[in-house]
Amino acid sequence: MIAALRSVLRFRKFDPDPVRRRLARAASIEDLRVIARRRLPGGVFDYIDGAAEDERTAARNVSGFAEIEFRPRVLRDVSDIAVQASLFGRPLAFPLVLSPTGFTRIAAPEGELAVARAAERAGLPYTLSTLSTRSIEEVAAVAPAARKWFQVYVWRDRALVTEMLERAQAAGYEAIVITVDTAVLGRRERDVRRGFTLPPKVGLETLLDGIAHPRWSYDLVRSQPITFSNVKGKGVGDGTSAVSLADYINSQFDPGLSWRDIEWFRDRWKGPILLKGVATVEDALLAADAGVDAIALSNHGGRQLDGAPPPIELVAPVTDALGGRVPVLLDGGVRRGSDIAKALALGATACMAGRAYLYGLGAAGEAGVDFALDLLRDGFRRTMALLGVTSPAQLSADLVTRPDHPSEVRNTF
């Protein structure tokens, strides 16, 4: 009896590293989300996870991928698969770009520095937010070999925008990503209920939450104050006063931004310009006419206009209308490597992801970001093998369908 038990029982060797133990329990991005929710204070997790109003758009960003089914081909010899792609004439380890996320240090003390280093190791571009908590120069210093992009929110103070563009150019950033869907801030009701402020307050409102998450609280109080490092000393948001995010955005961002401003950016930036926040075929065509180098189909992760279309539903009609004039990226809802494959099959050049790596950062710091990117890369490779393709270029519309319109996938989105 004992011998029989010994033959079937296998106990996992204890790993003394708590981070590795934590990650060993994760099999998906959703698992990282669950771990991050447990480890982070409620208000911090809700800032990362939440979206506008009823959060229907945020949910549809994810569920939209589930509405698409694959049409896998077999007996195709997938013994040699290459997942590499290219964008702006430079290589991507696989077709993914790390989206900009503001206020990243609330998830882990290293914040953007951890994400940039992970992106460098993964061979992927990292997009630094204007509202980052580490500066343009700090990120450039820790990830010198990474492809670095700079996301631009357009301030009312155009001299400040010009200054940031000059700093990014001097620090070797490759491209700028102009976010165009924040004329005003969407109503993010989780933040309203939590009374979330910038910088975060540690007082009676958060005391119990802090006690319940002592590691996060300890890291917060022993770290430098969290500020918007790129605009530190320029007014609100520099750590000297606590305000709501909505008040900050609505007082600082320029609601007068229009198509004529693209030329203003072209005069001040000599590299690629990507427009992020396009949500219609009409605006995609206008963007191409305006001379941008790429567009990102995005609804800001559902954090702006609740009721906006999921980006996956826009890929086919937009790429059909553009006819290859500019690369099209999908930003929103990517949780698996198979999602990337679906987007590329419908015509996208690459995908962007933000929450996916933030869940990893919140779950396990820098190692969690590495883990999240590995999950997406491995899932993309596995999906390609199961579809019967050996390169991203072979992902085409005949490999996907919608059950309700099995032969018209490119005409029904």
Q: What is the pLDDT of residues 293-307, one digit of tens each?
A: 999 999 999 999 999
In this structure, are residues 347 and 321 in contact, taking their beta carbons and an 8 Å threshold?
no
Residue 234: per-residue pLDDT: 63
Instruction: Tell me, rounded to whole angstroms, the distance of Cα 379 from its chain centroid.
Output: 17
What is the distance between the alpha carbons of residues 221 and 194, in angstroms, rounded to a whole number? 20
Q: Tell me the three-class secondary structure of 217-243, residue by residue.
A: HHHHHHCCCCCCHHHCCCCCCCCCCCE
Tens of pLDDT, residues 333-359? 999 999 999 999 999 999 999 999 999
At residue 97, does pLDDT exceed 80?
yes
Q: In the prediction, which pLDDT does 164 show? A: 95
Distance of CA 147 to the CA centre of its chain: 15
pLDDT > 90? residue 219: no
Model confidence at 236, pLDDT cuts 50, 70, 90, reads very low
Fold observed for domain 31-65+90-380: TIM Barrel (3.20.20)
What pLDDT is attached to residue 411?
A: 46
Q: What are phi and psi of 12, to 5 degrees?
A: -65, 135
Among all residues, which ones are annotated catalytic? 300
Provide DSSP, 292-360: -SEEEEE-GGGTS-TTPPPHHHHHHHHHHHHTTSS-EEEES---SHHHHHHHHHTT-SEEEESHHHHHH
Q: Write down the domain spans for the chain.
A: 31-65+90-380
Token couple for 183 = 């004329």
User: Is 90 exceeded by the pLDDT of residue 209?
Assistant: no
Q: Which two tokens stand for residue 64?
A: 């939209």
